[in-house]
Amino acid sequence: MKYLIRYNKSAGEPGRGTIDHKWRVFEGEKEYLFKNFKVNVPCYNELAMGDWNLACEGVLVIERDTSTAIINGAES
């Protein structure tokens, strides 16, 4: 699955997570808000949806305790 990661400029605003939810992770049209992210696959920059993003392909693992998105390779 392809993922786009972008800084959350509206963190802390209503419906946009707490002030600490600094990262937006897009999985297709679905958006997640996270405090942290870790990417364990190659990534590249890409202009999408009108903004620059960090883009990568892999499998998303969500660590709810730390609000961390981890993107691993398919074999991980």
Tell me how far apart the alpha carbons of residues 44 and 62 are, in angstroms, rounded to a whole number.
Answer: 21
Whole-number pLDDT of residue 48:
92
**Mean pLDDT over residues 4-16, rounded?**
97
pLDDT in tens, 28-76: 999 999 999 999 999 999 999 899 999 999 999 999 999 999 999 986 5
What burial letters (b/e) apply to 12-30, b meaning 16+ CB within 10 Å? Answer: eeeeebeeebbbbbbeeee
**Mean pLDDT over residues 8-21, rounded?**
97
Whole-number pLDDT of residue 76:
53
Going from N- to C-terminal start, the domains of the chain cover 2-72
Strands (E), 8-73: 23-27, 30-34, 36-39, 43-48, 51-57, 59-63, 68-72
Whole-number pLDDT of residue 74:
82
pTM over 0.85: yes
Whole-number pLDDT of residue 37:
97
Write out the two tokens for 72: 């691993």
